[in-house]
Each structure stands twice: as structure tokens, then as C-alpha cells.
């Protein structure tokens, strides 16, 4: 009976391995804050700091909602940044050349994004091509198409419908100055939390990632699950494309969403989603985004040039992976492994 209680406790919040990584990185950051407090205080004081994080986060978080599902099924999608760029340009194109109203832009972002994601899913699930190869290819296809749409020309703020600026300037509750963008991202987060835990499809995603073979034997249509996951990720990326235009005020074929996949993947991995699939939580991913968003904004404030960005993300990914692996090894030490293959 005592074992029961201990096992249950291990499953509880703090001790979940997903969160350990985050705590460790926060600890490291805390150390560096103590080491050089002046820069940190100065950085935090400036209003732009919070603005930067607050406005940048919704973009990352939205895409991360999809990426969480993708990685949980055991795959990776490196094309998200390009889908963001492509849908952004497409929506901008509609705004500029067709004088499309805002709601059309929203609809287009959702539909085009979903179709791009479904394209990925089609090749991965039904044409049976490896997810890495497919998303590497589509990463370039969508980015290339983004350039094709306007032959490389950016779409500036003057063509945006006014609601786009509302997204970042106005919020539903006038007194509290939290813009729509945040609320929308929050909305997605809440929906995804419930979706992953309480919806049938969400459970199937975990099953497919945990043991694809067993999932098949249980009657889960693995192909369909993966297809839908990629389609949904495309949808989220499309919405983020629209948000990009709101946040920055323009759509650019080269810049919109460029390099986003790195941040999103890093956030997801830090957030405790296991690369081998089957494990992870939305909350963890959100925490990961928060962390990375903070780091991203801290870097210029603390005096490093933005050149350090990619380096630090890469470093964080690797540190997070090492910690994650270390946890896995500790866990499996006490477990009597079948077939004598320990810690596999």
C-alpha cells in the first residue's frame, strides 16, 4: 500500500520530469541574474521588454500548440516557419490586391494553413515518406512560394485593414491593457489543454506516440491521427502568420516566420515533450515558450547582439536534451528492463 502512495506522488506536478528541465534552466538564469544584476534590472525596467515578450509570445505559443502534438506523435515538423511565412504573404496578398476585409484574411489564414499542413500529412501518412524528408522539402516549398506570390515584394502596413492593429493595440477589457493577440493565444492554450486531456483524439495522439504498434492493434487509425495532427499544426501556423502581420505591421516573404521552427521546437523540447513521443503537456510547452521568449528578449538587453540568438537556442536545446536524457536514465535504473536492454 505504501508503494501505491509513493507511485502516485511521483506522478504529481512538480516531480513530473517535464518540468524539471524548466526549473533547471530557470535556476541557471537566476544564477546569471545574481551574477550581473544591473543589466537585468535595467532590461526589465524598460517598457519595451515586456512589450516585446508579450507581443512575441502569442506567435510562438500558437505554433507550439501544433508542434506539441507533432512531437508527441514522435515526428517533427520543420516546415512551420515557412507555413507561417506563406500564409502571411497570402493573407497580405489578399489584403493588398483584393482589398479583402479582415475576416476574409482570418478565414484565409486558417484554411490555407490547414491545407499546407494537410499537404504535409498527406505525404507523411498516405504516401509513406519519412516526416523529416517531407517537412524539409515543404519547408522550402512554402518559403519559395511565399516569394513567388509577390515576386519577393513585401506587403506594408498601409494595406492592412485596421483590425490588424487592433489585435495588438486593443483588448477586450479596456481597463486592462492586454491586447487581443494575447487573449487569442490564451484561448488556444486553454482549448488545447482540454483537448489533449479530455478529447478522444487527444488521447489517441498520446497513444500513437507512446507505442505506435500497440495503437494500431487497439484499432487507432494511426495514419489518420498523424494526418490530422499535421493539418492542425498547419492551421495554427497559418493563424500565427496572420498574427505576425499584426505584430510587425508588415508581411515579408523572407522574414515572416523565418527561423521560427527553431524557437518552437526548442520551446517544446524544453517544455518536457519527449522527442521519442508519447509524453508531454501543453502547460509545459507554454512554460517553455515563456522561458525562451524571455531569453530572446533578454539577449539584446543584456548586451549581446542578436547574433547570439540562434546560438543560444541551439545551446538550450542541447542542454534540455541532456537533462531530459539524464532523467530518463535515472528513472530506468530502478526498473527491471525486459530483455536486458536497459535504458533503451
Partner 1 sequence: MKVTEPVLKTKGLAKAFSGVIVLRNVDFNIYPGEVHALIGENGAGKSTLVKILDGALSPTYGEIFLEGQKIKIPNPLVAKKLGIALIHQEPQIFPDLDVTENIFAGHTRDNGDLFVNWREKRKIARELLDSLDLNIDEEAPVKGMSIANQQMVEIICSLSTNAKIIIMDEPTSVLTPSEVKKLFGIVEKLKEQGKAIVFISHNLDEVKIIASRITILRDGNKICERMVKNTTKELMVQLMIGRTLNKQITKEEATVGETLLEVKNLTLHGQFKNISIKINRGEIVGITGLVGAGQTEVACSIFGITPSESGKIFIKGKEEKINNPMEAIRKGLAMVPEDRLQTGLLLPLSVKHNMTLPSLDKISKLTWINFKQEDSLVEAYIKRLSIILSNTNQAVAEISGGNQQKIVLSKWLMTQPEIYILDKPTRGIDVGAKAEVYNLINTLVKKGKGVLMISTELEEIVQLCDRAYIMSEGIITAVLERKELSEERIIKAVSINKKEVVQSS
Partner 2 sequence: MLKSSNNISSNKAIGSNYGFLLRDFFSGLEINYFILMFIVLTILLITTPNYRDASYIIKAISRNVEYGLVACMMTIIIIGGMIDLSVAGVMTLCATITGLLYHNAGIPMLGAIVLGLMGGLMLGMINGALVAYLKIPAIIVTIGTLYLYRGISKIFIGDHSLGHFPDWFNRVDRIYLIKIGNVNIPVTIIGLLVVVIIIFFILKFTSIGRKIYAIGTNETAAKFSGINVKCLKFLLFSLSGLVAGAAGLLWMSRLLVVRHDMALGGELDIITIVVLGGTSILGGKGNVIGTLWGWLIVIFVRSGLSVAQIPIEQQLFVMGTLLLLALAIPNVISILKEKYLNIEIQKSLKKVIESKNKKY
Interface with partner 1 by CB under 8 A: which residues?
4, 7-8, 10-11, 194, 197-200, 203-204, 206-207, 210-211, 213-220, 274, 278-279, 331, 333-342
CB closer to partner 2 out of 52 and 252: 252
153 binds partner 2, rule: CB under 8 A: no
134 binds partner 2, rule: CB under 8 A: yes
What does DSSP assign to residue 110? Answer: H
Q: Please report how close the Cβ of residue 2 comes to partner 1 at its closest, in angstroms.
A: 11
Pick the binder of partner 2 from 132, 157, 214, 337 (CB under 8 A): 132
CA distances, 118 to each of 112, 135, 146 (Å): 10, 12, 18
CA distances, 229 to each of 66, 112, 268, 286 (Å): 7, 15, 15, 18
Pick the binder of partner 2 from 32, 140, 331, 333 (CB under 8 A): 140
Q: Closest Cα to residue 279, out of 19, 14, 10?
A: 19
* Partner whose binding site includes residue 336, from partner 2, partner 1, none (CB under 5 to 8 Å by kind): partner 1
Q: Closest Cα to residue 273, out of 225, 229, 210, 329?
A: 210
CB closer to partner 1 out of 166 and 201: 201
* Partner whose binding site includes residue 220, from partner 1, partner 2, none (CB under 5 to 8 Å by kind): partner 1
The SS3 of residue 276 is coil
The SS3 of residue 177 is coil
# binding residues, partner 2 (CB under 8 A):
49
Question: What is the Cα gyration radius of the chain?
Answer: 21
* Partner whose binding site includes residue 175, from partner 1, partner 2, none (CB under 5 to 8 Å by kind): none
Q: How far apart are CA 301 and CA 294, in angstroms?
A: 11
51 binds partner 2, rule: CB under 8 A: no
Q: How far apart are CA 100 and CA 160, in angstroms?
A: 9
Q: How far apart are CA 270 and CA 317, in angstroms?
A: 7
CB closer to partner 2 out of 106 and 137: 137
307 binds partner 2, rule: CB under 8 A: yes
128 binds partner 2, rule: CB under 8 A: yes
76 binds partner 2, rule: CB under 8 A: yes
Other C-beta atoms lying within 10 Å of the C-beta of residue 27: 9
CB closer to partner 2 out of 147 and 195: 147
How many secondary structure helices (H) and strands (E) does the chain include? 15, 0
Binding letters toward partner 2, positions 228-267, x by CB under 8 A: -------------------------xx-------x--xx-
CA distances, 239 to each of 147, 185, 335 (Å): 19, 10, 44
State the residues that interact with partner 2 by CB under 8 A: 76, 78, 123, 127-130, 132-134, 136-141, 143-148, 152, 253-254, 262, 265-266, 269, 275-276, 305, 307-315, 317-318, 321-322, 325, 341, 343-344
Amino acid at each position: 500500500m505504501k508503494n501505491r502512495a509513493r507511485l502516485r506522488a511521483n506522478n504529481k506536478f512538480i516531480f513530473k520530469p517535464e518540468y524539471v528541465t524548466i526549473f533547471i534552466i530557470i535556476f541557471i538564469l537566476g544564477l546569471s541574474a545574481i551574477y550581473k544584476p544591473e543589466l537585468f534590472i535595467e532590461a526589465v525596467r524598460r517598457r519595451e521588454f515586456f512589450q516585446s515578450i508579450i507581443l512575441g509570445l502569442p506567435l510562438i505559443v500558437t505554433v507550439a500548440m501544433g508542434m506539441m502534438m507533432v512531437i508527441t506523435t514522435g515526428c517533427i515538423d520543420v516546415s512551420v516557419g515557412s507555413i507561417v511565412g506563406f500564409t502571411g504573404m497570402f493573407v497580405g496578398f489578399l489584403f493588398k490586391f483584393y482589398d479583402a476585409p479582415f475576416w476574409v484574411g482570418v478565414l484565409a489564414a486558417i484554411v490555407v494553413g490547414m491545407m499546407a499542413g494537410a499537404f504535409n500529412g498527406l505525404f507523411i501518412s498516405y504516401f509513406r515518406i519519412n516526416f523529416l524528408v517531407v517537412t524539409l522539402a515543404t519547408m522550402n516549398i512554402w518559403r519559395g512560394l511565399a516569394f513567388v506570390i509577390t515576386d519577393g515584394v513585401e506587403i506594408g502596413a498601409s494595406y492592412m485593414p485596421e483590425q490588424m492593429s487592433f489585435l495588438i493595440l486593443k483588448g477586450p477589457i479596456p481597463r486592462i491593457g492586454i491586447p487581443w493577440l494575447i487573449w487569442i493565444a490564451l484561448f488556444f492554450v486553454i482549448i488545447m489543454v482540454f483537448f489533449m486531456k479530455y478529447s478522444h483524439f487527444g488521447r489517441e495522439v498520446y497513444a500513437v506516440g507512446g507505442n505506435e504498434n500497440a495503437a494500431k492493434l487497439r484499432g487507432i487509425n494511426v495514419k489518420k491521427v498523424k494526418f490530422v495532427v499535421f493539418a492542425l499544426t498547419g492551421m495554427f501556423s497559418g493563424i500565427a502568420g496572420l498574427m505576425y502581420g499584426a505584430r510587425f505591421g508588415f508581411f515579408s516573404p523572407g522574414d515572416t516566420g523565418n527561423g521560427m521552427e527553431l524557437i518552437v521546437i526548442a520551446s517544446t523540447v524544453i517544455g518536457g515533450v519527449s522527442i521519442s513521443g508519447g509524453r508531454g503537456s501543453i502547460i509545459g510547452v507554454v512554460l517553455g515558450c515563456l522561458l525562451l521568449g524571455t531569453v530572446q528578449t533578454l539577449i539584446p538587453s543584456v548586451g549581446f547582439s542578436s547574433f547570439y540568438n540562434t546560438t543560444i537556442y541551439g545551446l538550450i536545446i542541447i542542454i534540455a536534451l541532456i537533462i531530459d536524457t539524464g532523467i530518463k536514465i535515472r528513472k530506468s535504473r530502478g526498473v527491471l528492463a525486459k530483455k536486458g536492454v536497459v535504458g533503451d
